[in-house]
Amino acid sequence: MGSDDVDAVLIGRNEGARLVAALESLRGQVRRVVYVDSGSTDGSVAAARAACATVVQLDRAMPFTAARGRNAGFAALDDPGLVLFIDGDCTLEPGFVDAARAHLSRHPRIGLVTGWRSEVAPHASLYNRLCDWEWHRPAGPIRSCGGDNLVRASAWRAVNGQRPDLIAGEDEEFCLRLSQAGWGLERLPLAMTRHDAAMTRFGQWWARAVRAGHAFAQMGTLHPHHWRAERRRVWLYAVALPLAIVALLFVAPAWLALLALAYPVSLIRTARGLARDGIDGAVRWRLAALLVLSKLPNLVGMATYWSRRLRGHAMTLIEYK
């Protein structure tokens, strides 16, 4: 088998029609597909088998995580050269695999490449639009990326894959260890996947932001410099400022309005950043409001992580759909 052969590891849980679309998008673009299922009850396993994918069903006795699924998928491959990792709510764009494989062939010290992910229906909800904005980041050398990527099997083995105890942020953590091991990482200026966030309710967005906060805290124990700014913003806007405002109510109410200005100032700065990214109109302010508000569920997620850690509880999934 050639070192440039591409196999795919697809992970999912109750993705339904999204999984069928993901499997179909892989047809003809990769040599073989391993589908790893995390306790689905919607017929996902049967759909994967019907698409001729190798199916791995994770043991329900252990907590499900995306990292655990990807590790199991990699282990099920026979002598892989390059491995495409993709989530069950994504479809692969035609042409990306060939371009990424050629790029890795020209650059032997690059261990991972990724591309651009976009939302299938960005205008279906404000929350989908927020995801679509989050996905699009500059091309070129990177420190970390999300779950859609093409990895050299040798690089994966060199760092022992992903940490199965991470319920979120596992891809970023894996990328950091790749970089530390001397591998290069790069985002190509190419469309890679189409994602279906399917977020239409505020509660879904809140749960997703809680999960992000959990990842911020857990990553801080593993790689203290990564996401440090994100953690500081959570402490500032969700803890320090609210406590200071409450204190001023009793000791210096005249200064209360001045301190409370921190929130509208943050809103304006965030909206200006979104404008630089090409987002204009009322949606820019609505997205900015969500980003400012996200510090509260982020704090809940960080507190959840530390509560679990101190009590010795398992790091179980925080699902938003």
Residue 233 pLDDT > 90: yes
CA-based torsion, 264, 270, 276, 279: positive or negative: negative
Whether the CB-CB separation of 178 and 141 falls below 8 Å is answered with no
Give the pLDDT score at 304: 97
Give the pLDDT score at 4: 64
Give the pLDDT score at 321: 78
Whether the CB-CB separation of 194 and 120 falls below 8 Å is answered with yes
Over pLDDT 70: what percentage of the chain? Answer: 99
Contact partners, residue 177, CB within 8 Å, separation at least 6: 159
Q: Two tokens at 268? A: 């304006």
Give the pLDDT score at 58: 95
Q: Is the full-model pTM beyond 0.85?
A: yes
Residue 30 has what DSSP assignment?
S
Residue 2 pLDDT > 70: no
Whether the CB-CB separation of 191 and 92 falls below 8 Å is answered with no
CA-based torsion, 128, 134, 135, 139: positive or negative: positive
Residue 9 pLDDT > 60: yes
Residue 319 pLDDT > 80: yes
User: What 3-state class would DSSP assign to 234?
Assistant: helix
Q: Can you give the length of the chain in residues?
A: 321
Residue 252 pLDDT > 80: no
Give the closest residue to 283 by CA, choosing from 294, 271, 295, 265. Answer: 271
Return the minimum-mean-pLDDT range out of 11-20, 202-211, 241-250.
241-250
**How many Cα atoms are found within 13 Å in the side-chain-facing hemisphere of 14?**
9
DSSP letters, 201-216, are SHHHHHHHHHHHHHHH
Q: Two tokens at 125? A: 């909800």
Give the pLDDT score at 1: 39
Strand partners, 151: 83, 112
Q: What is the average per-residue pLDDT within 43-65?
A: 94
**pLDDT by residue (tens digit) across 204-231?**
999 999 999 999 999 999 999 999 999 9
Over pLDDT 90: what percentage of the chain? Answer: 88
Strand partners, 91: 194
CATH numbers and ranges of domains, the chain: 6-200 (3.90.550.10), 203-311 (no CATH)
Q: What is the average per-residue pLDDT within 56-67?
A: 93
Phi first, then psi, for residue 120 (nearest 5°) are -65, -40
Chain-centre distance for alpha carbon 73: 18
Mean per-residue pLDDT over the chain, rounded:
94
Whether the CB-CB separation of 117 and 193 falls below 8 Å is answered with yes
Give the pLDDT score at 244: 92
Q: What is the average per-residue pLDDT within 5-22?
A: 95
What is d(CA 215, CA 301) in angstroms, rounded to the nearest whole number? 8
Q: What is the average per-residue pLDDT within 253-266?
A: 86
Residue 23 pLDDT > 50: yes
**pLDDT by residue (tens digit) across 112-148?**
999 999 999 999 999 999 999 999 999 999 999 999 9
